Amino acid sequence: MKKIIILLAILVPSIALLYFSLTRDPRELPSMLVGKRAPAFALETLDGKKLSLEMAHGKPLVLNFWSTWCEPCEAEYALIKRAYEALSPNGVVFYSVLYEDTTENAKAFIARNGAAAPILLDPGLKTSIDYGVSGVPETFFIDGEGTIRYKQSGVLTPDILTQNVRQIAVKGGGSQP
């Protein structure tokens, strides 16, 4: 009996620990970058223009990582497009970084869904890795001082988007949306 109790005392916590660690999604962990300065980048757009973090300085920036092969991103695109059209005249900057995808796919996607925020190419996934991106969609809300205020892993909802744009607009540049 004593042996069974000892065995259970070892086995039960071990199995519980294993179950806990295997069922946790790392993408749900809070980002290490929130509250820190956003990593600098200078990337080319689909039409060959160069855009950088520096160019958005002083304005709230919504930095979205997405792919054409990601179904949730397609649903999210409509929301971002609407937000871009409504908020960019108020000084909110939107960049969409293409993750693990091709220029051709992005051009075809825009032809189907209409153009919205500038699409930035990320060769070698350097910027994606610099932002700790491990899947798409992921969105970073960066204030006018260049500090990351929030990271959304997974699809944005209108509430999450509005609430965080409001927060970054208050914390640095951009008129209240």
Partner 1 sequence: MKRILVFGVFVLLLAGLVACAKSPAGPEDRVKHLGSQVRCPVCRGVPISESPSTLAAQMMDVVREQVAAGKSDDEVLKYFEDRYGEWVLLQPKPEGMNLVIWVLPAFVLVGGGAGILMQLRKRRGQSSAAPAKGN
Instruction: Summarize as ranges the residues that interact with partner 1 (CB under 8 A).
Output: 22, 26, 29, 31-33, 100, 124-126, 128-132, 134-135
Residue 148 three-state SS: strand
Instruction: Tell which residue, 106, 99, 95, has the closest CA to residue 124.
Output: 99
Please state the closest distance from residue 9 (CB atom) to partner 1, in A.
Answer: 14
Q: Give me the least distance between CB of 153 and partner 1, in Å please.
A: 11
**Cβ of residue 82: shortest distance to partner 1, in angstroms?**
30
- State which residue, 44 or 100, has the beta carbon closest to partner 1: 100
User: What is the amino acid identity at position 83?
Assistant: A
| Shortest Å distance, C-beta 6 to partner 1 | 12
Cα–Cα distance, 56 to 150 (Å, whole number): 17
Which is nearer to partner 1, 137 or 174 (by Cβ)? 137
Could you count the other beta carbons within 10 Å of the beta carbon of residue 94?
A: 22
Q: Which is nearer to partner 1, 44 or 166 (CB)?
A: 44
Q: Residue 92 in contact with residue 165, Cβ under 8 Å?
A: yes
